[in-house]
Each structure stands twice: as structure tokens, then as C-alpha cells.
Amino acid sequence: MEWSKLLSTSRLGRTDAKQKDVRSEYQRDYDRIVYSSAFRRLQDKTQVFPLAESDYVRTRLTHSIEVSSVGRSLGTLIGGFVINHENLNDVHPQEFGNIVAAACLAHDIGNPPLGHSGEEAISSWFAGDGNKYLSGLSQEQSKDFLKFEGNAQGFRVLSRLQNAIDRGGLQLTYAVLGAYSKYPRRSHLPVFDDPKNKNVSEKKFGYVEADSAWFEMVANELGLTKKMEGAWARHPLAFLMEAADDICYRIIDLEDGHRIGRISFEETEALLKPVALGSEQENSGKSYSQIDEEKNKVEYLRAKAISNLIFEAVSTFKASYENIMEGKFENDLMSQSKYITQLDAIKALSKKRIYASPNVLHIEAAGFEVLGGLLEKIVPALVDVGENKKAVEKKVLELIPLQFTKGKNKYEQLLGATDFVSGMTDSYAVTLYRRLRGIELPRG
């Protein structure tokens, strides 16, 4: 792959000349995402802890901003390396940072409401009560719903649903869309074409059949290495977007877990210290020991850990550069880190004490009821059944924004349903569910 293509500033859906602006094209992408309604709705989407009493705990919005900050650092550091390695004289390191920052800002923009099980809740409904609506669809189209994927939904949000009247949605640069696309393949294809790795994250994919033409346009413009029909190697900067997310959720979820009392200070310190201070513990210990409050100590360790993991990801990227550019690198950067033992320990404890805490499990279990219940009402209203449409389905149809009711066939109508439901905030999803069930009536 070649950086002359990978850094494309052309925009999806636009053929006219670039606008003159003191901002770079990638900075304009960042601003477009920030001011989009889909990004704003992340403030009311659960990251890990639903309805947390502490305002310190992250939402999807604050998580995305923090990931973007880490991504900018990763991109800028790698930008300096690439420019020197490839003798690129017409681009600045900061532009690599701007691309990754924009991609990171959007990395969760397609995730449905009510926590990490939201995707599974939608998939489960189509595998169960909603399976009858998949009749007549191709096997590949059915998998778009049976394996509902937030990454693919995010591509729809960026390229189609936001600014829907414009061809190409937000009309982002190809470079940013490429860096965003962590799984550049269709739903029916495995993540890896190496049989030894066939089962690794097999369910993940980056676009649905309806968006095939758009995604192929992105891949071709960027010159991504084609793996098989419908699947390409990642854009090199997508590895940095993934690393930024991995760094943040591993370290910051642990910090949030301590903040709300799920994990003791002693446990948190024991997990973070080796990553934050490492072999420099003796030199750094003096300043650390001078911090009095436990929460301040955890914040210090969190900051140092993130900094060290950034440089570790950069080191791995550099060491794997040739394989990455040839489309042969199939790992995530953090899995190659010298801190992988500590990161795995953090992941194991987080899974046991944070992600499986009663509040999280209650909300995620309720998410199956809420999202399934919404689809139960919305899908029959959207799917064309002609004269047989019930009166209640006609009423529900009137409640659905016009944007999601324009499907020309069953497949597009079902996409309209998942587009509508997955874009809801936690609060709106619960409120609409209660109202459609007759549990609550609107006031005024």
C-alpha cells in the first residue's frame, strides 16, 4: 500500500473541488463528526456503567473524546516515523494525528444503546421472534441482522445516515473512513483468510451489503490490499485507532471501576503500577509516594500507564511496519506489547468485577427486553405487508422519522428498523419502549 493513496483527501460522495480553508481536510472531518447529531447522542449512551451516580464515570461520549486524544498522539508519533522512512516531504506528522483523531472520535458512533450487549440484543431478536422477517433475503443479507455489528452501523452513520440528503453522508475524506474501518469486510466473511485464525473475532465486519458500493469505493481510492472478494487489508492507521481504544478501555474502565467501589485501591494500584512505572519505579516512586489521596494516585498511574502504552504501540507499529504495509499483519498492536501480561490481568479482573457487576448485568439484560420489544413493534410497521397492515402498525409507522421509512424492499426496510433503533439514546429507547407497551403515556 502507498501513502500517496492512503492519505487521500478526496471525499466520499463529492467530486467538486476542495473548499479553501485554513483547516486541513482531516481537521474539517473532525469538526464534522463533533457537530453531528449521532456523535452528540453518545452523551446518553452507556460506556460500561449505566446510570452511574458519579459524574466522574465515562459515557460513550467522554470515552470517544479520550480515545481521540490518545489516537492523535499515536498518529502524530507514527507520522514522524513514516515521513522519515518514506521521504514524504509534502505532509506533516500532525496530519497523521488528525486522521487518527477523527477516526477515533467516530469509533463508537454506530453502537446501539444500553451497553455492550446492545448488538447482541438486536442479533438475538432476529435469530428468535424476528427470524420470520428474514424470509426471502439472501444468506448474506440475513447475516447483516443475525450478526448485527456496531462497526458496520458506524460506517452507515458516517457515509449514509448523517446528512442523509447529501450523497456520502458526512462526506468524510477517504483517509479518515479508511482509518475508521477496523474490519474491512462483509458480514459473511471471516476476519482472517488464514485458516489457522479462522475463529478469531469471526463475527466482526465493517459494512453491510447495502453499503458495498460505498465501501468498495473507499477501498479502491485508498489502494487497500484486497484479501478476497468483499474483504481488504486494514488501512495502516486503523491499527492506531484500535490501539487507542484498547488502551483507553483497559486502563480507564479500571479507573472507573475503582472510582465507584467495584475494585479496591490496593488491587487497582497493583495492576497499574507495573504498566505506569515499570522498571522506573524506583526513580518515579518518590513523586508517586508524595501523592496523598488514593483517587489522585490512581489518576497519576492512569496517566503514566496510558503514556507508556502509547509509546509501546508506536514501537510495535514500527517493528511491524513492512507487514502492515503489505497487508500481512493480522494482530492488534497491544497484543504484541511487553505489558500484555499486565493488560490481560486487568482485562480478567474487569470482566469479573466490572463488566459482570449487578448494575451492568441488570441493564444489559433489560436491553434485550427493550431493544427486542422496540423491534417487535417497529419492524412490522416498516416491512411492507400491504393491505394486511394492522391499525396499530400504521400508528407506529407515523412515529418513525421519515428518513427510516424509505426502504424499497424488505431488506432496506429492515435496515431502516435497525438504523432507527441503534441510533437511539439509552433514555429515548427506554421511554419509547414504555410508551409503545402502554406502560407510560406522554404528558402535555
Confirm if 314 and 81 have CB atoms less than 8 A apart.
yes
d(CA 353, CA 66): 23
pLDDT tens for 59-87 read 889 999 999 999 999 999 999 999 999 99
- What local confidence, expressed as pLDDT, does residue 195 receive? 44
Residue 59 forms beta bridges with which residues?
46
- What local confidence, expressed as pLDDT, does residue 200 receive? 44
Question: Mean pLDDT lowest for which of 172-181, 210-219, 254-263, 300-309?
Answer: 254-263
* Confidence label for 203 from pLDDT (cuts 50, 70 and 90): low
Confirm if 355 and 50 have CB atoms less than 8 A apart.
no
Average the pLDDT over 216-224 and give the result. Answer: 97
Give yes or no for residue 185 having a pLDDT over 50: yes
Between 155 and 295, the higher pLDDT residue: 155
Eight-class DSSP state of 292: -
pLDDT tens for 117-165 read 889 999 999 999 999 999 999 999 999 999 999 999 999 999 999 987 7
Q: Which amino acid is at 99?
A: I
Percentage helix, strand, coil, to 5, in the chain?
65, 0, 35
Q: Tally Cβ neighbours within 10 Å of residue 310.
A: 19
Kindly report whether the global pTM for this prediction surpasses the value 0.85: yes
Average the pLDDT over 362-390 and give the result. Answer: 86
Measured CA to CA in angstroms, residue 258 lies from 76, 215, 247, 253, 278 at distances of: 31, 41, 17, 9, 21
Give yes or no for residue 109 having a pLDDT over 70: yes
The three three-digit cell numbers of residue 305, written as one number: 500507564
- What local confidence, expressed as pLDDT, does residue 362 receive? 76
For each of the domains in the chain, give its residue range(s) and CATH number, in order of start.
3-112+139-238 (1.10.3210.10), 239-353 (1.10.3410.10)
Instruction: With CA atoms as reference, report the closest residue to 203 among 249, 147, 251.
Output: 147
Average the pLDDT over 209-220 and give the result. Answer: 96
Confirm if 46 and 60 have CB atoms less than 8 A apart.
yes
Give yes or no for residue 58 having a pLDDT over 90: no
Give yes or no for residue 49 having a pLDDT over 80: no
Average pLDDT, the chain: 88
Cell 414504555 identifies what position?
Answer: 434
Q: If you count DSSP H runs as helices and E runs as strands, how many of each does the chain have, helices first?
A: 20, 2
The helix/strand/coil state of 232 is: strand
d(CA 429, CA 168): 27
Residue 173 forms beta bridges with which residues?
11
The three three-digit cell numbers of residue 119, written as one number: 448488538
d(CA 105, CA 164): 20
Instruction: With CA atoms as reference, report the closest residue to 245 among 183, 171, 299, 166.
Output: 183
- Residue 70, CB-side half-sphere exposure with 13 Å CA sphere: 33
Burial of 216 (0-12, 13-18, 19+ CB in 10 A): middle
pLDDT tens for 19-35 read 677 789 999 999 999 99
Burial of 61 (0-12, 13-18, 19+ CB in 10 A): middle
